C-alpha cells in the first residue's frame, strides 16, 4: 500500500488540481530552484534550463487535475523534469539529422535514380524553408545553417532570445509538418524510380 502524503502536501496538490493559482505558486517556489539545478547540470545551459523548468511547470498546470492521484510528488515531478530534458536532447538530435540529411544523402547516392531522389529530398527541405515567414526563415538560416547562437541572433536582429527560440520552434514545426505531408509523394516517387 502506498505511503500517505503529509496532509499539507496532499492539500496543496488538491488545491492546485482545483485550479488554485496561489497554491501553484507555492509549488513553483518549492521546486523551481531544485528543478533548475538538475536541468542546468544536465544541459549546461542557463537559457535551456530556464526554458525546460518553465515547460515543466506549464505542463504541471495544464495537467493539474491528475495531481490528486500522486502519492510521491517529488518523484513524480523530477520524473517530469528528466523526461523534458530527454525530449530536449532528442529534439536536438532530430534537428541535427534533418540538417545533415542533405549532404549525407548526396554523398551516399550511386545511381542516377538515387541522385534524382536525393535532389528531390533536398528540394523539399529548401521548399519548406522558403515557405516560412520572412523572420522565421532568417532566424532558421542563422541558427541552423550559419550556426549562430540564440543570443547572437537576438543581438544581430535586435529581438529577444525568447523570440528567437519561438521562431526556431515554429520553423522546425512547420518544416517537419511539410516534410511529413510530402513524404507520401516522395515514397511514391521512390517506388516509381525503383521499378
Q: What is the pLDDT of residues 106-124, one digit of tens each?
A: 454 455 555 555 555 667 7
DSSP annotation of 64 = G
Domains and CATH numbers, the chain: 7-90 (1.10.1740.10), 109-194 (1.10.10.10)
Task: Give 169's contacts (C-beta < 8 A, 6+ positions apart).
Answer: none
63-77, 99-113, 116-130, range with the lowest pLDDT: 99-113
pTM: 0.50
CA 5 to CA 17: how far, in whole Å? 15
CA 12 to CA 163: how far, in whole Å? 34
At residue 3, the pLDDT reads 47
Q: What is the pLDDT of residues 184-194, one digit of tens each?
A: 454 444 444 44
CA dihedral (3, 7, 11, 13) positive or negative? negative
Is pLDDT of 18 > 90? Answer: yes
CA 20 to CA 64: how far, in whole Å? 10
Nearest to 33 by CA among 14, 57, 12, 59: 57
Neighbour-count burial of 67, counting CB atoms closer than 10 A to its CB (0-12 exposed, 13-18 middle, 19+ buried): buried
At residue 6, the pLDDT reads 57
CA 155 to CA 160: how far, in whole Å? 8
Q: What is the mean predicted confidence (pLDDT) over 36-46?
A: 90
Amino acid at each position: 500500500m502506498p505511503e500517505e502524503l503529509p496532509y499539507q502536501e496532499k492539500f496543496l496538490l488538491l488545491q492546485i488540481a482545483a485550479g488554485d493559482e496561489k497554491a501553484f505558486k507555492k509549488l513553483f517556489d518549492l521546486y523551481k530552484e531544485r528543478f533548475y539545478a538538475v536541468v542546468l547540470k544536465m544541459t549546461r545551459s542557463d537559457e535551456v534550463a530556464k526554458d525546460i523548468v518553465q515547460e515543466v511547470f506549464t505542463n504541471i498546470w495544464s495537467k493539474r487535475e491528475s495531481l490528486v492521484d500522486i502519492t510521491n510528488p517529488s518523484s513524480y515531478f523530477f520524473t517530469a523534469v528528466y523526461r523534458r530534458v530527454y525530449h530536449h536532447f532528442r529534439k536536438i538530435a532530430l534537428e541535427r539529422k534533418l540538417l545533415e540529411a542533405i549532404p549525407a544523402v548526396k554523398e551516399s547516392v550511386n545511381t542516377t535514380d538515387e541522385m534524382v531522389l536525393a535532389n528531390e529530398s533536398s528540394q523539399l527541405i529548401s521548399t519548406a524553408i522558403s515557405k516560412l515567414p520572412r523572420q522565421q526563415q532568417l532566424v532558421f538560416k542563422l541558427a541552423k545553417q550559419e550556426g549562430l547562437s540564440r543570443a547572437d541572433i537576438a543581438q544581430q536582429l535586435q529581438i529577444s532570445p525568447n523570440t528567437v527560440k519561438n521562431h526556431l520552434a515554429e520553423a522546425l514545426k512547420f518544416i517537419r509538418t511539410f516534410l511529413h505531408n510530402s513524404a507520401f509523394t516522395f515514397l511514391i516517387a521512390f517506388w516509381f524510380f525503383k521499378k
